[in-house]
Every structure is written in structure tokens, then in C-alpha cells.
Structure 1
Amino acid sequence: MNKKFLVNSTLAGIMTFSLFTPTAFAHDMLDDVGIEKGAHEADLNEIPKIEGNKSLSNWKEVAATPLKEYDGVENNTADVYSHKGYAYLGTHTQNGGEGGVRIFDMKDPKNPEEIAKFADDIPGTWQEKVIVKSVNTPEFKGELAAVSVQQLNRNNPDSKGGFLLYDVSDPHNPEKLGFWEMDKRVPGTHELYLTVQNGKPFVLSANPYADYYTHGESKDFALVDVSDPKQPETIYEFDPRILPEVSDDFNGYHWDSPDGKTRPVFNHSAMSDTNGDKALLSFWDLGTIILDISDPYNVKYEGRTDYAPDVQGSAHSAALAKGGNVLIETREVYNPTKEGYEESYGYTRIFDIKDPANPKELSTFKTDLVDNVEDGITFANTVHDPKVHGNTLYLSHYAGGLIAADITDPANPVQTGQYQPEGAYFWGVDVDRNYILASDMGNGLKVLQKNNSK
């Protein structure tokens, strides 16, 4: 199968912070790009109507539920997260953002019911990422949600970036607890992760370009103690200058790498292992950085992935497999014909990180989309976010839909299915119990359920 996705080049230009041009393309051209792409309403109408396939191996689409409109405003989806029978959908930038997070009751996966909207109270922002965990500290007991907040335009005096903390113990009635606010010069928190380590909750916050815009006063990664959600406390920030290959004159964005190229460096995403002992920072062309956070007050750098001179970095997101010993690194490469690099859209790399100081590349996983370079610049063909469930890797792939791969042998991943409904544009994916959740930017929440007859 060799599908082409002729997507209008304006797909890339939907995020327009101040200093960013609205026709920009990707992260690695600062001041010519917004922090995320996706599509606004006009672009979604221009995505070709692909003859779809509504199955993913032996999984079948059982629901397609659009977001509710509020005051006549239609928002589009961003990432999706599942927790205790509820789906949490972040929202993107369509119609001015401010779509908040939507909660869906998944009691009947064939009929998801949107029951609440929250985290929409900061003007001029969008809420891409949400993570929910059970927390029990002296200051708070219940279900805690962390929500990323990003400014659409930093010149808006009413907007501010960072992350919100909410009590969602009663999903029908979320209650605001606190806000971790960033320097106004920084767009905000993009991707984040909420982890609980020995009963204590921490937020891992990726704040792209913080180092650049604050001239080093703030960093692109922060580890925040949220034991008291009303008073989040920053306890650590990562500075790339600690690495011997990054010189002291690093300006917070452009890195003169040892391979002779000037590469973009910023923290796009952050996540941790199950126990909250290890942090993975997706630091674009600096690779996936591995930190030991087992003692959050004494964080130690362990290692990072690297790239051949002809490979664009673009470390976008990460996932773990095999008990945390295998790293999945997705690379969002939007321009497959960038001078000096291989001709390819973004694909997935798989590493053995049992020795985090020396990550060993086991394999690369490429779909049939990544070599379709004749169409020019488009986000439709690059991989986006990864999730692992058992020995199956799930990848959101924008217009390519969802991809499933068997990683029983991480050195030999094998594609097992592709879910590509007509007109889809997938941002995120999550797996919970007996269903897969997917955020289709223009079409809302998609639900896939296992077909036990196969």
C-alpha cells in the first residue's frame, strides 16, 4: 500500500505565538514555527477523503463521538488519556482554543458520554495534554489531573502558560486546585506527565523554548512536587549545558553539534517509568535524555540517544516497553528533503536502555508513509505519539491513522494493523481495559474494541 496524502502546506501553521508566523512549518525553525501543528478547521476540510479502513488487526471501531459545542464554538481534539473508566481529551487551537479538557464516561464504550469540561478558564490558551493519577498525601487525597496550558499569543495580556491541577475525584464536577505558572515570555507547558513515586506526586513539565526566551533564567524541563496541589513547588530544572558536547555558549535553542551541523534543541515532551524513578525527556535533536529521578531532590543525568549526521533528530515523544528496559522514540520529521539529511519523514526508533548511559539501537520501525517524499512538506506522513500495551506498540500517525506493531522482539518490529477511517487526522492514542481510545482532531473521540470472534 503506497497512499499519498496531498495536504495543504498550511497544515503546519496553526500555532501562532507572538514572534511566530502563521504560515510556518515546524519546531526546528524558531520564529518561523508554532509549537504544534495539527490542523485548524479550514485545513481539516482540505485533508483528502481517504477510503478508510475501520479495523486495526482484530480491533473494530465501535464509536465516533464529536466534542460538544459550547456557546456555538467548535473545538478540535488534542491528546487522550484513560483513567478508571473515563476518557480525558485535551483540545487544540481551533476557533481560538480555550476548549479545556473534556471528560467522557466510558461505561458503555460503544456510547461514550461527555459529562464535563474543565481547565478552560485561562484566556487565549489551549490544553493539549492531561494526565490523571490517584494521589494520597497529607494535603490531598483523590484523583488528581495535571493539564498543560499554552498561550496562543504571548502578546495577549490575559494569557499565561504552565499547568493546571484539578481534583477529578468526581468526574462530573472537577474542582480547580492550583496553577503552576511560567514566565510570561515562555509559550507554556506543552507535554507533561504526572507520576507518583512512593506515594508522592510529581509533574514532569516540558516547556519548549523556555531557555531561549528567558535567556537561561528558566529551563525547558522542570520537575515539580505537587504533593500539595494548591502550592506546586519546582525542585529541579534540566540544563543541557551540563553535557560535555553542549558548549557553555549554547543559546537555548541552536546547538552546534559535534557532527558539524547546527541543530535545534528544546524539550518537547517528558514522561517517566511506572515507578517514577526514570525520566525521559524528548529533546528534539539532542535526542531522548534519560534522567535518574529516584531521588527527586538529587536528580542525575544518565544518558541520551544520538543520531547519525544524516538523520534529523526531532525526538518528539517516548514510551517504555519490556519493564522499562526498552525505549520507544518517535521522531516528528515534517520535511523529508531537508538539505544534508536522509529523505524520509519521521519514523520510530527502538532502543535497549538497560544501560541508560549507553542506549543501544535495536531497530527502526517505518511505515509505508515515511518514504512518500515526493509530496513535499506535510505532517500527514510523519509518526506522532507512541503507546505500548503488552507487546503491541500503537502509534498515532496523523492522516495515516493508527498503526499497530508487534514488538515481542524489539529488534524486529512487525506491523500488524492500520486503522485509517475516512478523513481521519489522529493526534493521540491510549489503551485501557478492552478498548483503544484515539483522538481524531476533526472528528472527536474514536473507540476501538476487540473483536472476540476473530
Structure 2
Amino acid sequence: MFNRHICAIIFLLTLMYSDDALSHAEHDKARYVAVDGKDQGSCEQPAQPCQSIGYAAKKANKGDKILVAGGEYQAKSVDELFYLTSELVPSYGGYSKADHYKTANPQQNPTYISGVPATYNKQLSERGFILIVDKKSKSLAASAAFQQKLGQFDAIKQSQSDVNCVNGNAGSFPCNNIDLVSHVPLSSFANSPSAANDIWGHVDLNTDIEYAIIGLRNGASVVSLEDPSNPQVVGHVTGLTAIWRDIKVYQYFDFEQGMWQAYAYVSTDGAADSVTIIDLNDLPNSIHSVGHANEDASLHNIYISNVNYGTGVAINHRQPLLHSMGSSRYGGAHRSYDLINPKAPTAVYTPVEATRDDYTHDGTSFVVTDDRVANDCQRLTTDQTTPTECDIFVDFNENEMRLWDQTDKTDLTELGQGIYNNAAYTHSGWWTEDKKYIYVHDELDEQQFNNNTAVMIFDVSDLTAPLSKGRWNGPTKAIDHNGFVRGNRYYMSNYERGMTILDITDPVKPVEIGYFDTFPFSDDDQFNGAWGVYPFLPSGLILISDINSGLYVVKDKTKNVAAGQISFSQMKQNYPEGQTAIIHVQRLLDSTGEISVEYQTLWGSATGDDFVAQTGKLTWADGDNSDKTISIPINSDTDTLEFTEQFSVELFNPQGGATLQNPGNAWIIIDGNNEVSGVKFGAASAELIENQTSDKTQILIPVSRLPSYVSGLNVGVSIVQTGDSQATNNSDFVLHDTMLTWAADDNSDKTITVDIINDDQQESTETVTLAFDVGDNYRIVGTNAFTITILDDDSNTAPTVTSNNYIGETIESLPLGDLVTVSDDQTNLAYQWTLNANNSNATLSTANTLNAKFTTSVAGVYPLTLVVTDPFGESATTSFTVEKTEAKKQDKGGFSFNYLTLFLTTALIFLRRRADIKKIGKIVQTMSK
């Protein structure tokens, strides 16, 4: 009996310690290669290396690396060239089996590669390889197959536009029913990043210009699609080097400014870069970061629920939530934040009791309003005070799909789980527009089970018991990654196959009807090619991000079907208050069979008080191609001053085989009443040094004009007296612009110019405040004050800074500001932290702030330096160390750690699924009786 209990304890300990081993987010594992190795197994043991780099690459996951022992190797196929130059699974030479691949020494362990063109010499030598180019090794490079693929390789490095898919190819790219509109290669982005990752889209509702936002190894970039055939990179926000980034957009109408505001959220995994928040409100001119949401040092994915995916606007009365997934906290379980202040998301749901078993890799959500609200969510709909809908969060948990009721955003309830055979890594998925089915991607089943591409299909008519309805199997071994539904089309990034489009008219029997191969060299089960797709732009353009070659903008040509296309006749219509908007919906091209489509009204700047919300279904009989209409009464109100407002009508869930053609949303514009312009200072304050130059210091203060722009505008600017420290006009400064003038339809920024006079008097700090004159024909937005602080202190002294060393066992997002003390008579100080050594084992985030964050998981002593600089350029420096100690070994009731590790390793061979873990728990309970 005693031995049984010991075994039970071991099993329980196995479950506790195996959490990280099941993680897809665990990366930087090595695969080993040696000339005397064997191409068998997983190549994970230094004592049992594989023989070829190509085989090792096929056993690796994203973020792994291949370590190659000294010797002579030959690239035996064209594909092996790409494995050698991969960024997601990089290969490095110069290692030795003798020291178990611990240290690279290319001089002592020369690693030769033959069969590769000389153009790759520099790239491979930087990774520890020596390229051999002689007559014996030219066979591969000289082959026709290699030359063809080399031409394709060159093509993915070049910008291209307007290449139609003809006879199975769009230039160098294999395709079917998809045209290439444009291609932006990696070299077009800032600092020529070595790889791309995820993609999202954005439409600026102020201008209707569409944008692509692409994640890159070195940050994220925004690309204007104003001319889709000639995309322009607008700006780049730099981030720490990382393989994984994910992007989502939130857009809302600011009633004070009378304009739409938008922010992009970029998560980072594999580096402590947290969530970068990008301000999109200066588009089309520029973008900039407004900081980080630093609750999580790193996280794998983000998602925003309760928004329209084409606009990023909240759906009607619902509250948008930003969800972090796969973070470095709370076992990686999903966590929710409100976006009331979009620059500073606030946690509203934190899974404090979650374990590594609750890790969420990716997620999506949908809201149900049918009988599942009462039956599955147990939310009664008969009581007027009870919600009539249920908000479902779909959690892709590595081992299964989990469904949660998140209607109460502070207290989630798990409803059911979806499991399937041969699960290797439950990665991501999306739902059909009738909200009855979910498509699930498993990222590792192709490799582990030698499958072709497979997409799992679940019926979620019962949210408490998702039912597996089989799977779609593709024609190649390319790995499926991320997918999205729009209408009856499923758009899927398919790695080496590029993008695949499925017709899901019959949701349990998808049919491939199109693809665009962004990686034309291979369709293997490797991590090259298309990472992400985005199919929600109002124009209907599809975005693809390719790991190896950047951004693709393509056009879906799969929608010309016998059942016809469904579309609004007009994208925008104007109506005054008190009238009824009549929207025409067309059936175009063909009219075979009975079809239908659903519709709903969506809030914009016009909300529920401005119009009568509508939902419904339009139906066409076989052969009927007449227009159908939607009538929406627009309410009247008594406001004497009101902006032009807008809301939209969305078509979704087409049935009968007809496709949704763009525009898929129609906008109804409600004419404004006595609109006036707004004016706003571009900033709140500025600080200048009087004696910074020999003559004068000049400041240019931007002033923005906000809607409306229908007439000309004159705005006066005055000096506000603020007390004893008030600077004097014409003595301390000169104000040049006291009247700002705009013509009708002019929305450009104007500038106030102020000269700071440099005199020879020693003075204390002075200020001057400017304000707009109050007027009847314009409104003042924000704080009506711009304060200039003038510094002139000849007795200024440098800051003082002291520090303390730190020793700890766990160091994650350590706030370095707690370890220093800074004092100075100036408040506007600049900070710069430097990690002096061991850079590869530790990370610094927000290094230009006092409270920089330091993270490391590797034991050691890390010297740090802080330089503090005041506005006059005087600085002080302090240095100290942060020491991470080895984790203390825990007493496991007489079992040594090595023996426990042996048991854990053995058990992990058998524990592949969460369901198995639950079974083990029951066995343990039985054994203990």
C-alpha cells in the first residue's frame, strides 16, 4: 500500500512539474546534428544527433535552433538551403559532440557546407559555417530546379504589384483564384528586419484610408493602402528582437474632438517587451508609441472582444475587452483588461488561481442570443433585468478547446471542452457567422502524425458539449496556422502553402477554392511562409504576412458563383434626422437557387438614441435578382448643436451558396445641426533653456482644427497672467502669432511661434501660459492652456544618484527604480539604463525611464549602470549589480531531484493530453482508498 501511495505522489508531482514541458511557448530548444549521426528520432539529445540539417529542421518547433558539429555537409536539396538560412529555426555551425554542443568554436570545429551558391557565404559564415565552392559542389547550384527556385527566391525579395493569377501562377507565385495586388518585401521596412510575423488591418474612419499593420522581428510597421498597388510604409515602432508578435486595433469616436481615435496593441513573446500601444491618430502622416501595458513582461497573443473586426469599433452597447494570452504570469491563462482609457488598459479579470494547465495560446469570442443563453449559460431571458445574451470566450488551450461564459467580465465560468483525436497542439481557430461551428487549428499534428494539412470542425450548438464533426484535409503537408471567417469563406494562413481559402457553405464539408503561395519553394510541414491573414478590410482586400518575405496584398476571385453575390448598392448615404433610411441590397451576377443573408445595425458615432436598431434576414427565391430593402428610422432630437453622425449596417451569414461582395458594410450619415469647428493645442506644455543658444530659443506650438470644416475660422491667442513667476512679453519672450486663420475646408495644423530671449541676467525659473480667446463660432477642445517653462539657473548642479545591489532567486520584471535614489532641483530628468554584460541572458524594458524592468531566468551577476541627466545637460552615474541565485532544491519526501526528474521525463512520454491528466487524477484517488 505504501508503494502505491508513493507512486500516486509521483504521478501528482509529475502533473505539477510537467506544465512547462507541454508548452508551445517553450522555445530555444536545440536540435543536434553531426556527420556520424542518424536521421531518426527528434534530434534533441547531444549524444544522439541527427545526420542532416534538413531532417533536424523538420523536427524543430518555432524558436528552436539547430546546432551543427564540425565536419563536412552538403546541401542535398534546394529546401535545405532555406533551412540553413531560416530565421525561425536558425542553424549554427562550429560545435562539437565532445563537449555536448556547449560552446561554439568555428575555428576549432570547422563546419563545411557545399552545394550552396557563393552569394550565401556572408550569411552562413556569420552562423559559423564555411562555404565550399568548387567543381564537385556545383551540381545543386547548376541544376535547373535550383535555378528556378533561386529565381523565385529573388522574386520574394522584390516589390511587385498588379500581377493576375493566370494558368496557376501570379508571376513567380503559384495561385488559384487569387490575384496579387502588391508585395512589400522585408527590405522595405525599417532596418530590413530578418523576418515577419502576424498581421492585422485598420481603416481610419476619419479618412476611409485602409492600412496594414505588420509584426516584424524588430517591431511593428504601419503600411498605407490608399493606393493598394503602391503601398507606402508610414512608420515603424521599434521593439525588442522577438519571433512572436500579435496585433489588434481598437477604434472609438471621441465626442469632444468630433473625430475617430484609434490605437494598435502589439504583444511580444520571447522578449520582455510587454504590449506596445501605438497611436494611430496622426495617420496618414505618422505613428508613434504611447508606451507599454506592463502587466506582463511577455505574452504570446492578444485579442479584443466585442468589436467589429473590420473597423475595431465596439459592437453597440458591449464593452470591448483586451485579452492577454500565454503571458509570463498566472500560468499563461487568459486575462482581460478594459479599454476605457485606451492608453492604459486596466485589468478587470485576473485568473489568480490559474496554473500552467490553464495556459491559453490564442482566443476568440462571440455572443449568442438564442436558447443557449438560458440552456447552456444558465442566464434566464424572461426577466427584464437579466442579460438576454451570453458572451462566449473560446480558449485554445494547447490540449483542447475550452469555452467560457464571460458575460460577467469579472467572473468567468467554464462551459465545455472540445477534444479531438491525434491532438498535438491546439493552436487557434475561428467561428462561423451563424455561431454554430468552430474551426480549430492544430499546429503540430502535421509533423507529429505525418498528416496533411488538417482543420478540425466542432459543432457548438450545445456550448457545454462541443461535438467533433470531423476535419478538413488539405492536399499538402503544409502546417495550418491562423484562420478567419468572412461570409461563407474561411481564410487560412498555411505556412509553406501561403494562404488557403475554403468555401464553408456546408460548414462540416469545407472545399478548397483558392490559394496564394507566398513560399513557392516547398509545401512541407516546416515553419516558413505565411504566418497570418486578415480578411476584414471594407474594400475586400486580403492581407498576408509572410515570415520570409513580408507583406502581400491580394484580391479574392473565388466569389463569382452561380448563386450570385450579395452587396449593398451604395456604401454611404446621407439622411437628415426624422427620416427613414432605405438601404438597397443587391443580388449580382447570377441567381441560381434560393439564398439569404442576415443583417444588423452597428453603432458608430451615432448610437442607440439616434436610430432604431434593426436585425433581420433578406431572402431571394431561385431566379430572383431583385433588390431587397432595409428600412431604418432615424430619430429626431432637440439638440441645437450636433455633429454629423454615422452608423453602419452589416451583412453576414449568407446561406445558399451566394457570396458576400464588398462593400459588406453600408454607412448611414445623419446630417449635423449648426456644427462648429474645434481648436486644440497640440501639447500641454514645453520646457526650454534660455541660454541654450547665443541669440534666442524658439518654440513652435502646433494648433489643430477639428471638425467641422464647413466655413472659415479665426481664433485669437492671448497671454494668461499666472503669478510672480510670470515671464514678461518682449522682455523674456516674444509672442508672434496672436490670430490663427483657416479657410473653409482647411483642416491643416497652424503654428504659434514664441521666441525666448537670452539675456545676461541670472533668473529663476519663469513661466508663460497661452490660451485661446473664447468665441461663439468655434469650441475649445481639451485644456485651454499651453504653458512654457523657461529655465535659466547659472548655479545649477548635477543630479545626485545612489544605488543598492540586489540578490534574488526569482527575477522577473524587477523594477530597477526601487534600487536607486535620485535627487535634483529639476523635475524633468532623463534616464538611461545599460546592461553591461550577459546581454543574451537578460532583458531590459523601458530602459529610458526610472522604473525600467529587468528580467532574467539565468543565474549570475549582472552589472547595471544608470545615467541621470538634468535639462541643462548635467549628469550623474551609478553602477550596481543584480544577482540571480540558483533555485533552491525542494525536499520531495526523500526523493532526490534527479530521481524525480527521471520519473517526470518518463511520465511525460505518456501524458500528452489534459484528458489523460484527469484520468491519472482518478487513478490516484482510487489507489489512495
Same fold (TM over 0.5): yes
Counterparts of 2:457 and 2:242 in 1: how far apart (Å)?
34
Counterparts of 1:73 and 1:173 in 2: how far apart (Å)?
19
In the alignment, is residue 220 of structure 1 matched against residue 220 of structure 2? no
Equivalent residue in structure 1 for 2:227, among 108, 116, 120: 108
Residue 449 (structure 1) aligns with: 555
Please state how far the C-alpha of 1:295 moved relative to its aligned partner: 2.6
Matched to 1:289, the amino acid is R
Indicate if the aligned counterparts of 2:440 and 2:456 stay in contact, CA closer than 8 A.
yes
Counterparts of 1:442 and 1:336 in 2: how far apart (Å)?
20
Residue 201 (structure 1) aligns with: 320
1:38-65 deviations in whole A, cap 9, x for unaligned? 736779999x949884465422112111
Please state how far the C-alpha of 1:193 moved relative to its aligned partner: 3.4
| Structure 1 pair 268–449 and aligned structure 2 pair: CA distance change class (3 A) | same
Residue 273 (structure 1) aligns with: 366
In the alignment, is residue 179 of structure 1 matched against residue 292 of structure 2? yes
Please state how far the C-alpha of 1:151 moved relative to its aligned partner: 3.5
Matched to 1:131, the amino acid is K
- Give the SS at the match of 1:9: helix
Indicate if the aligned counterparts of 1:315 and 1:329 stay in contact, CA closer than 8 A.
yes
1:141-156 matched pairs, under 5 angstroms: 142-152=261-271
In the alignment, is residue 128 of structure 1 matched against residue 245 of structure 2? yes
Counterparts of 2:446 and 2:507 in 1: how far apart (Å)?
27
Equivalent residue in structure 1 for 2:515, among 415, 418, 428: 418
| Structure 1 pair 236–388 and aligned structure 2 pair: CA distance change class (3 A) | same
Please state how far the C-alpha of 1:430 moved relative to its aligned partner: 1.2
1:12-411 matched pairs, under 5 angstroms: 12=60, 15=63, 22-23=65-66, 39=88, 49=149, 53-54=169-170, 56-68=175-187, 72-84=191-203, 85-92=209-216, 97=217, 99-118=218-237, 120=238, 122-125=239-242, 128-136=245-253, 142-152=261-271, 160-171=272-283, 172-182=285-295, 184=297, 187-193=298-304, 195=307, 196=314, 198=317, 200-208=319-327, 210-212=329-331, 219-238=332-351, 252-253=356-357, 266-273=359-366, 277-285=391-399, 287-308=400-421, 311-333=422-444, 336-337=447-448, 342-344=449-451, 347-370=454-477, 381-411=478-508
Indicate if the aligned counterparts of 1:101 and 1:127 stay in contact, CA closer than 8 A.
no
TM-score (norm 2): 0.37
Matched to 1:229, the amino acid is P
- Give the SS at the match of 1:228: coil
Indicate if the aligned counterparts of 1:161 and 1:189 stay in contact, CA closer than 8 A.
no
1:240-299 deviations in whole A, cap 9, x for unaligned? 86xxxxxxxxx625xxxxxxxxxxx631112223799221111111x1221222231232
| Structure 1 pair 74–8 and aligned structure 2 pair: CA distance change class (3 A) | farther
Counterparts of 1:111 and 1:274 in 2: how far apart (Å)?
38
Counterparts of 2:505 and 2:481 in 1: how far apart (Å)?
21
Counterparts of 1:437 and 1:205 in 2: how far apart (Å)?
23
Residue 807 (structure 2) aligns with: none
- Give the SS at the match of 1:88: strand
- Give the SS at the match of 1:128: strand
Counterparts of 1:420 and 1:321 in 2: how far apart (Å)?
25
Query: How many residue pairs align between the two structures?
Result: 373
Counterparts of 1:400 and 1:414 in 2: how far apart (Å)?
16
Matched to 1:236, the amino acid is Y
Residue 439 (structure 1) aligns with: 545
Indicate if the aligned counterparts of 2:189 and 2:233 stay in contact, CA closer than 8 A.
no
Matched to 1:174, the amino acid is I
Counterparts of 2:219 and 2:61 in 1: how far apart (Å)?
21
TM-score (norm 1): 0.71
Counterparts of 1:301 and 1:240 in 2: how far apart (Å)?
14
| Structure 1 pair 302–162 and aligned structure 2 pair: CA distance change class (3 A) | farther
Counterparts of 1:361 and 1:316 in 2: how far apart (Å)?
16
Counterparts of 2:500 and 2:188 in 1: how far apart (Å)?
30
Higher-Rg member (1/2): 2
In the alignment, is residue 9 of structure 1 matched against residue 9 of structure 2? no
Question: Identity of counterpart residues, as a percentage?
Answer: 19
Indicate if the aligned counterparts of 1:317 and 1:330 stay in contact, CA closer than 8 A.
yes
Counterparts of 1:357 and 1:273 in 2: how far apart (Å)?
15
Residue 720 (structure 2) aligns with: none
Query: Which structure is higher in helix share?
Result: 2
Q: Unaligned stretches of 5+ in structure 2?
A: 1-52, 68-85, 93-119, 125-145, 153-167, 204-208, 308-313, 369-389, 522-527, 561-929
Structure having greater relative contact order (Cα 8 Å, sep ≥ 6) = 1
| Structure 1 pair 91–61 and aligned structure 2 pair: CA distance change class (3 A) | same
Matched to 1:269, the amino acid is D
Counterparts of 2:353 and 2:397 in 1: how far apart (Å)?
9
| Structure 1 pair 109–452 and aligned structure 2 pair: CA distance change class (3 A) | farther
Residue 857 (structure 2) aligns with: none
- Tell me the C-alpha RMSD between the 2 structures: 3.7
- Give the SS at the match of 1:417: strand
Counterparts of 1:335 and 1:344 in 2: how far apart (Å)?
4
Q: Unaligned stretches of 5+ in structure 1?
A: 1-5, 16-20, 25-36, 153-159, 213-218, 242-250, 254-264, 371-380
Please state how far the C-alpha of 1:365 moved relative to its aligned partner: 0.8
1:183-202 deviations in whole A, cap 9, x for unaligned? 55xx4343433544635331
Please state how far the C-alpha of 1:133 moved relative to its aligned partner: 2.4
Indicate if the aligned counterparts of 1:162 and 1:189 stay in contact, CA closer than 8 A.
no
Matched to 2:516, the amino acid is Y
1:344-393 deviations in whole A, cap 9, x for unaligned? 366211122132111122231111224xxxxxxxxxx2211111121111
Indicate if the aligned counterparts of 1:209 and 1:267 stay in contact, CA closer than 8 A.
no
Please state how far the C-alpha of 1:182 moved relative to its aligned partner: 3.8
- Give the SS at the match of 1:323: coil
1:306-359 deviations in whole A, cap 9, x for unaligned? 134xx124111111113322211111015644xxxx543662111221321111
In the alignment, is residue 427 of structure 1 matched against residue 531 of structure 2? yes
Indicate if the aligned counterparts of 1:80 and 1:429 stay in contact, CA closer than 8 A.
yes
| Structure 1 pair 323–128 and aligned structure 2 pair: CA distance change class (3 A) | same
Indicate if the aligned counterparts of 1:386 and 1:393 stay in contact, CA closer than 8 A.
yes
Residue 106 (structure 2) aligns with: none
- Give the SS at the match of 1:164: strand
- Give the SS at the match of 1:442: coil
Indicate if the aligned counterparts of 1:78 and 1:89 stay in contact, CA closer than 8 A.
no
Matched to 1:252, the amino acid is R
Counterparts of 1:453 and 1:326 in 2: how far apart (Å)?
22
Residue 608 (structure 2) aligns with: none
